[in-house]
Chains A and B, each alone.
Chain A
Amino acid sequence: GAVVSQHPSWVICKSGTSVKIECRSLDFQATTMFWYRQFPKQSLMLMATSNEGSKATYEQGVEKDKFLINHASLTLSTLTVTSAHPEDSSFYICSARLRGGTSNQPQHFGDGTRLSIL
């Protein structure tokens, strides 16, 4: 149980392109999903918290107009990297937390998306 699917697994595209990444909770509902960015040999850095039916909450220093988040249902959140540039190249990972219960529930991660901007 608690499977999170992330798509696509890798993207290579030209500078200036917008890229959409999907995060789906397959066998549970998630009112809250999280988007992380991970550089090689570094830790997971939270970018934003995605809340179903409301606006996402962005971490300090993360441009909300650059990284658009939509959480339209209890099982799907999307991250769109707009007008991507080489410095946006990274490993993007989503996670989801089971709806209900206490807020101290585990986060379950997707497989990540490796984004390379040429």
Chain B
Amino acid sequence: DAKTTQPTSMDCAEGRAANLPCNHSTISGNEYVYWYRQIHSQGPQYIIHGLKNNETNEMASLIITEDRKSSTLILPHATLRDTAVYYCIVRLYSGGGADGLTFGKGTHLIIQP
């Protein structure tokens, strides 16, 4: 799986959009970008994933650059409950089952009141 680079920490004001970058310059053509987050003392939570196109769901938006070497997770209206460690993971999807996720250090996002 391709490696990812994320900032160690970020701050964002409550109510503003939080934009979390991820660099994955060695991504291959059939690798997906996944985002998970982990709130303190809980298990990771799936947020969103994408291959080439931008994606949006009820939690967030995922913007993937045209060359697919980087992406940005956008939380449109951050709340205090969004304070967590956010992991960007690039992996090959095997539809028949689950392969292991490779978690990096992630970005510690702190939402300020």
Co-complex (A, B): no
* A interface with B by C-beta (< 8 Å): none
